[in-house]
Amino acid sequence: MRVPYEKAIENLDLLANLQSFDPIVIGTPPLGIDVTDSDIDIACFCDDLDRFARFTSRQFESQDRFQIRRGTFQDHESIIVQFSAFEWDVEIFCQPIPTNKQWGVRHFRIEQRLLALSPSLRTIVTELKRSGLKTEPAFAKALGLSGEPYLAMLCLEQADDRELLALTATQ
């Protein structure tokens, strides 16, 4: 049995190691909707992605299945660092935009609000995830949102609690 995600983060000293990159732990474990293949996700900010790649290589290259790749997400060049430790897959995602403006963090905060307002949503979303859906599509389906699920979830950012509660009442 793997250790709790918080213990893995602590054992790896992840937040301290990444402190200068404004790390935010996101994803399904802190939301309480993780499934067996869920990983630990951390969003970071760095305006010099080459520096971030060099730093994370030095810090984590000794971890199992370590890899770094580059990609473009939401029109921003990005670095994804992946490795395994303490029976968890870890993914560190970095973009040259402030962490709190990144889609992953924005989705996470919306999902936190929804689960706080409607705890019963947790069971529905977890079951949808077990059936193979990713997190945002699972929330979108549970809430009856139409269109592209990642954009549909972002549209909820400006909704007040009353509007979000009305959405959760339909599930």
Residues 6+ apart with CB under 8 A from 150: 103, 107, 136
Categorize the per-residue pLDDT at 170 as very low, low, confident or very high, splitting at 50, 70 and 90: low
Residues 6+ apart with CB under 8 A from 2: 8, 86, 87, 88
Q: How far apart are CA 63 and CA 83, in angstroms?
A: 6
Q: How much of the chain, in percent, has pLDDT values that exceed 90?
A: 94
Q: 16: buried, middle or exposed (CB in 10 Å: 19+, 13-18, 0-12)?
A: exposed
What tens digit of pLDDT does each residue of 140-155 get?
A: 999 999 999 999 999 9
Q: How far apart are CA 168 and CA 122, in angstroms?
A: 11
What tens digit of pLDDT does each residue of 64-104 get?
A: 999 999 999 989 999 999 999 999 999 999 999 999 999 99
The pTM score is 0.94
Strands (E) in 61-141, as ranges, are 64-73, 76-85, 88-95
- CATH class for the domain made up of 5-97: alpha beta
**Residue 67 β-bridge partners:** 82
Q: How far apart are CA 141 and CA 59, in angstroms?
A: 39
Output the pLDDT for position 91.
Answer: 98
Q: How many residues does the chain have?
A: 171
Domain boundaries, the chain: 5-97, 104-168
